[in-house]
Amino acid sequence: MRISTSWAQQSVVNSMLDQQSRLNQTQMQLSTGKKILTPSDDPVAAARIIDLNQSIKQTQQYQSNSDAARQRLSLEGEVLQNATTILQRINELGIQGLNATCSSSDRTTIATEMEGLNEQLLGLANTQNANGEYLFSGFKSATQPFSKNTAGGGYTYAGDSNQRLLQIGETRQIADGDPGSNVFGTPTAPVPTPGSMTNIFEAIDKFATDLKADAPNSASLDDISKASDKILTVNSSVGIRLNVLDSQDGTNSDFVINMQTALSETEDLDYAEAISKFNLQTVSLQAAQQAFAQVKKLSLFNYL
């Protein structure tokens, strides 16, 4: 069997093209910093890279949820702390108003200040965050939770009793707020008698009204104290949830670092090895090209 000159030359050309392809791939690896450019390079590693990237993105979303929850809970904590300060002053005024030595005019003055503080408290209950969402409306975050009735007295709660849960870890959720009904109490109609009021605004209004009538009722002050304790309890719960977020953030950060390390080990290029490989491939290709140039001259036609 005879092997034609064209076949031999084509074989050499194909070999050089294959070398050029491998050199181009190494060059592409060096430019991207990745050792796996297509799934066919290493199917198992390519699948692992997809899984690792998905885990990292999912955990980063947990972190984003955690940041959003911290923002709302931190604001809620500030609001409840301010509410507690106001209620402490109202309690002081209530004790003064119940004192037997207090005159009718003194009680009217105390009632006026108490009503002003109640308006401030109502404003705090209707606090909005930077996104315009009401903190204490439950799922109805676009609806103002509390309003004072202009006719007939009393108050109205327009929110609901739901809590929004955010996923902050693979197996952990956290409530990013509290409905106003759980914090300030649900208004009732008609307004109940002193000693059985659960809504802080109604209890304060009732006490102020009785002070103006020079007939303060200690039961109203008890209602205010009970409502204040509820706010303190919720504020304590907010603090606990913020601590949980801090703990989970640390867990999420460690997980992301571990996943990124594994991802780097799987897909990142060893530059020293790749540069050495690139140099060897370059020399090999150049040698093949030079050899081919010499072989092309070995023809009888060159000597005829």
**Sequence-distant (≥ 6) Cβ neighbours of residue 284 within 8 angstroms:** 19
pLDDT digits (tens, 9 = 90+) for 238-252: 999 999 999 999 999
Whether 97 and 211 have beta carbons less than 8 Å apart is answered as: yes
Instruction: Tell me the pTM.
Output: 0.77
Whether 19 and 281 have beta carbons less than 8 Å apart is answered as: yes
Over residues 124-134, mean pLDDT? 95
Would you call 29 helix, strand, or coil by DSSP? helix
pLDDT digits (tens, 9 = 90+) for 55-81: 999 999 999 999 999 999 999 999 999
CATH classification number, 52-261, choose in 1.20.1330.10, 3.30.1370.60, 1.20.1250.20, 3.20.20.70? 1.20.1330.10
Which pair of tokens denotes residue 12? Answer: 């050499």
Q: Residue 1: its pLDDT value, please?
A: 47
b/e 215-232 (16+ beta carbons within 10 angstroms → b): ebbebbbbbbeebbebbe
Amino acid identity for residue 284 in this structure? S
pLDDT for residue 270 is more than 60 = no
pLDDT for residue 156 is more than 60 = yes
Q: Show the DSSP H helices in 99-190 as ranges.
A: 104-125, 180-183
